[in-house]
Amino acid sequence: MTISKSILVLSALLLSQSAHAFGRPDNPDDGFAAIDMNKDGVLSKAEFMEHGPNPPFISTQKIFKQIDINEDEQITKQEYVDAWYKKRGRS
């Protein structure tokens, strides 16, 4: 029980370390595609939690909420693109 929980935490850490998809690409399309694992055109909360950004001092969940403007627990391409440009001070 404790060991498997530790492994879960560890793999979650490794996953988040390897994916700074939101901040790094030069355009939002690449960032979106990097998180949208099943290629259905929306980012589910699970996809975002696993593959989304993991900057210090702010939780991925919080970022998800900020991007998910209409609070339907999914991030559409439009929501993602809007947030991407907002983050860079463009609109």
Residues that bind Ca ion (CB under 5 A): 36, 38, 40, 68, 70, 72, 74
> Minimum CB separation from Ca ion for residue 21, in Å?
13
- Considering the complex, state which of residue 54 and residue 83 has its C-beta at the smaller distance from Ca ion: 83
> Minimum CB separation from Ca ion for residue 38, in Å?
5
> Minimum CB separation from Ca ion for residue 18, in Å?
18
- Considering the complex, state which of residue 4 and residue 70 has its C-beta at the smaller distance from Ca ion: 70
- Considering the complex, state which of residue 9 and residue 48 has its C-beta at the smaller distance from Ca ion: 48
Question: Looking up tokens 């980012």, which residue turns up?
Answer: 43
Please give the single-letter amino acid code of residue 27. N
Question: Looking up tokens 């498997």, which residue turns up?
Answer: 4
